[in-house]
Structure 1
Amino acid sequence: MVNKDPFYLGRLQDYYALHRLIPSYAEIAAMVGVSKQGAVKFIDRMIFAGYINKAPGGRLSPANMFFARPHVGCAPAGFASPATEILGDAITIDDYLVEHPSQTVLVEVSGESMINAGIHDGDFLIVERNTNPNLGKIVVAIVDGDFTIKYLRSGKEGMYLEPANADFPNIYPEMSLDIYGEVVGQFRKF
């Protein structure tokens, strides 16, 4: 017998993406084409596997694994290799990019000063609040009261911020330089 749980889970994830809630057992049964008892058994398996939580009162909600995406292997960015899908573990984007959730924020990029570091206008940066990053790290800084994203550098004039685009000058603070956080990742939608 073929395990249809991944297909059913995919349907449930798509439904959640549209409506931001887990449907009733009857709706799940209709959505995936099983009896209501079949839907109950499916949800029980998803609870056991860590995809669904059941709150007091029976309300269903997504668990952390609900948002995990399959890791299907690596694809070379150089020479082509045979296309075979290697099923690996599932990971959530948070598990991969966020080490300290209480200290992590998203910052949207505006401008082109970091383009040569691969950071483009409209990208989202994952920023970990860290007021003392190492030199050379990309940081979100508050310089003389204004936010900016640059490399943190030090020279004979003290700490300064360096862009990754030759069309923009280095920034030397006139009054203050505070580090808001260190950039630990980024994402964009194509």
Structure 2
Amino acid sequence: MRTPQADPEYLSRLQDYFARWKMIPSYERLCALWGLASRSAAGKVLERLRRAEFLERTPDGAWVPARRFFERQLARQVVQAGSPAADVEAGMTALLLDDLLVDTPSRTLLVRVRGESMREANIFDGDMVIVERQAEAAPGEIVVALVDGELTVKRLLRDGGGWLLHPENPEFADIRPEGELTLVGVVTGLARRLRKGQA
């Protein structure tokens, strides 16, 4: 019989399953996933994960991920871009990406970038910018704005002629709104996938 010491392994397998299928599987599937012989054994694991605040139950009894389910491992050491550092596994702590990237969930919007107008700000085609919705921003901030009915991401600047949206690519021209500038929000973070996931 597997012991509670195996729960981190059970959790990892369940997180991988959820990442692919976006659901908590049936008891039968959990038994196969975890190598358990009975539904009652799977139920005990689920209860332990619930007590550890990785899972919770809906009012109708369905199992769903709790906030801790989405924690990711954060190395306590910073990575060296020069000489190699010590073993990354030496110290780990848990981190929710929301804690790093999101200040106010109700005002946060994710926007996918299309085009190369911000490449010198290291924002590339296909990136996802994290935007905090607000109607005002300070000069120099990168913003998402509504221009001619379309969203654009640019650096907000001000000169003698008023507000302008400045691309970080010399191949693109500044945008000077003819009327009122409509800001969607300020870019507070960036998400980029460097390696395509395995099928």
TM-score (norm 2): 0.87
Shift of 1:61: 0.7
User: How high is the sequence identity, in percent, across the aligned residues?
Assistant: 41
Displacement of 1:99 in angstroms is 1.4
Aligned partners of 1:145 and 1:176 also within 8 Å? no
User: Is 19-28 or 173-182 further displaced after alignment?
Assistant: 19-28
Q: What is the number of equivalent residue pairs in this alignment?
A: 190
CA contact (8 A) 1:128 1:181 kept: yes
User: 1:1-190 counterparts in 2 under 5 A?
Assistant: 3-36=5-38, 37-73=40-76, 74-190=78-194
In structure 2, do the counterparts of structure 1 residues 40 and 146 end up closer, same or farther at CA, with 3 Å as the change threshold? closer
For the structure 1 residues 135 and 86, does the alpha-carbon distance in structure 2 shift closer, same or farther, using more than 3 Å as the test?
Answer: farther
> What residue identity is the alignment partner of 1:152?
L
Post-superposition Cα deviations, 1:116-161, rounded to whole Å, max 9, x if no partner, equal 1110001011111011112111000123444211111111111111
Tell me if structure 2 keeps the 8 A contact 1:144–1:175: no
Q: What SS does the corresponding residue of 2:48 show, helix, strand or coil? A: helix
CA distance in 1, matches of 2:4, 2:46: 17
Across the aligned residues of Structure 1 and Structure 2, the Cα RMSD in angstroms comes to: 1.8
Distance 1:52 1:6 in 2: 13
Give the Cα separation in 2 of the matches to 1:138 and 1:9. 38
1:65: Cα distance to partner? 1.2
2:197 paired residue number: none
CA distance, structure 1, for counterparts of residue 149 and residue 84 of structure 2 = 48
The residue type paired with residue 164 of structure 1 is E
Structure 2 runs not aligned, ≥5 long = 195-199
Unmatched runs of 5 consecutive residues or more in structure 1 = none
CA distance in 2, matches of 1:80, 1:14: 30
Q: Is the 8 A contact 1:70 1:87 kept in 2?
A: no
What one-letter code is carried by the residue in structure 1 that aligns with 2:45? F
Letter in 2 for 1:57: D
